[in-house]
Amino acid sequence: MEQPPDFIAKGESRKVCRRKKCLYRLKQSPIIWFERFASVVKTFGLSRSQNDHLQEKRLLLVVYVDDIIITGDNAQWIADLNCYLQKHFRTKDLGSLCYFLCIKVVRSKREIILSQR
């Protein structure tokens, strides 16, 4: 074994650093994060949709790894959910959606256009 190139202690070339625990909990990390996220969202009052039938009032979350799109027909609900999530996670509000998974999103007053190169 060798010392890492950015951390070399002169005269101690036979010593190496030992980590006390894994950095990202290996394969369980995404599962644990999503379970925690799901429980936080559930305590906010949301539930997982079982079908595509939507009711009059709606608040939708699209989750892909650690990117989340929040949309709905009530701006106050969206703001409340943003504040609630910020209390439980470190989040950034990037404003209106422009790109998601290499899909460009353009809005007009009448429609939303999705395009991909």
pLDDT band at 19 (very low <50, low <70, confident <90, very high): low
* H-only helix segments in 26-117: 28-44, 75-88
Tell me: pLDDT of 26 over 60. Answer: no
Q: What is the DSSP letter of 21?
A: S
116: pLDDT strictly greater than 60:
yes
Domain that holds residue 53: 28-115
In-domain check, residue 21: no
Structure tokens at 88: 């439980």
Q: Is residue 92 included in any domain, yes or no?
A: yes
Residue 1 lies in a domain: no
Q: Which tens digit of pLDDT belongs to each residue from 31-75?
A: 777 888 888 888 988 877 776 665 667 788 888 877 888 888 888
For residue 79, being part of any structural domain is answered with: yes
Q: Is residue 20 part of a domain?
A: no
Q: What is the mean pLDDT of residues 4-22?
A: 67
pLDDT of residue 94: 84
Number of domains in the chain: 1
